[in-house]
Amino acid sequence: MGGYRFAWVGFVEAGAEKLVRPVASAGYEKGYLESKRVSWDEATELGRGPTGNAIRSGKPSVVRDLLTDDGYLPWRTEALARGYASTVALPLSANGNSFGSLNIYASEPDAFDAEEVALLMGLAGDLSYGISALRTRGERDEQAVAFRRTGEQLSLLHESLPIIFYTSRAEDDFGVTYVSSNVEMVTGHEPADLISDSSFWIHHIHPEDTPRVFEELPKVFQKGYHEYGYRWRSADGSYKWFLDVLRLVQPEGAEVGHIFKDSGSWGENPPARREFNTDECWSLRQGQPHIFIQGSHGMRCPHVDEETSAEHTELSAGHADGLTYICIPVKATGSIIGCFASSFGSGQSN
């Protein structure tokens, strides 16, 4: 529409050669871009042409006559063969940084006066805005895909773990308002069972543990965080130990808050203490796996305290194996960062 012979757009590349990569063109090109290498590196001859000058300075760069301008010498022969006589390079910028150049060629010398250049700079500005908007939209789309993929991966990971997430009302009977779907995998109960009946959770706590749970639960209101363990009845009638980690959330202006819970299943037997010092575990002290078999061999780790050992032995009464556990140090880059501990009783891992 402007009567120009040829135009092309190039984007800067961050490689060692600092090349300008052609991405779009229109007009009489006839292989010109294939024969043309352009850089924005001022240290090289290929970077001191109008395109490199415009990208570095952020200002338009005009060559009034390709036949006589020494700066255009590397591309002169190919340009003249296609009837190009003058050119202007207009920077494409975003947030103060040039990311490319719009290059326009005319078939007559001195075709780009100050008024023409000012008009074309407005065009380059619109082009810069459009490209930036498309890039931003593309980045958002990529992030959305990445977030969705991550969410799916986390969901799959979560579904395979014996950790149930649920929320409950912070009043009355503390009825469950949401529970993760893996509750069925861990307990055999469907999520709807807990949500439809506000007393379902309470009625499935082991009778011996119910008084303690009611004593522990209100403590979350004192500091906004609390944790405790108890036994809870699965769909098959058996009881499993759970450790609930509670967090109180009180939205601003709301009369009633919610309690967010992470509930980890610990099997049929009570877990060892959740927190302990490194010197309370023989595997961490020795840097190697440690096995304890009650009544046979090995030294009991202090973090598997006497009370836990006694409860486990009582639950395993009538079985010769009693309490058995193994602790294995977890290492990364040559250093111990944690401990994996598993207890066994009656031939079952807990």
Q: What is the SS3 assignment for 192?
A: helix
What is the C-alpha to C-alpha distance for residues 20 and 99, in angstroms, rounded to an integer? 9
What is the C-alpha to C-alpha distance for residues 25 and 2, in angstroms, rounded to an integer? 15
Q: Locate tokens 């069972």: which residue?
A: 193
| Closest by CA position to 270, among listed 203, 208, 329 | 208
Segment-wise mean pLDDT, segments of 10 residues, the chain, 350 residues:
87 89 92 89 91 94 93 92 95 90 94 91 89 83 77 63 78 81 87 90 92 88 85 92 83 64 62 69 87 72 62 44 75 79 54
pLDDT reported for residue 205: 93
DSSP class of residue 226? E
Length of the chain: 350
Instruction: Name the pTM for this structure.
Output: 0.45
pLDDT reported for residue 348: 41
* Other CB atoms within 10 Å distance of the CB of residue 146: 10
| Domain made up of 161-265: CATH architecture | 2-Layer Sandwich (3.30)
Could you give the C-alpha distances from 333 to 72, 330, 336, 337, in angstroms and in order?
A: 55, 11, 9, 9
Q: Tokens in use for 238? A: 């058996």
pLDDT reported for residue 153: 67
Q: Locate tokens 């009302």: which residue?
A: 169
pLDDT reported for residue 316: 43
Same fold, 6-139 and 161-265: yes
What is the domain partition of the chain in residue ranges? 6-139, 161-265, 278-349
Q: Tokens in use for 148? A: 């969705």
From the candidate CATH numbers 3.30.450.40, 2.170.120.30, 3.40.50.300, 3.10.580.10, the one assigned to the domain spanning 6-139: 3.30.450.40
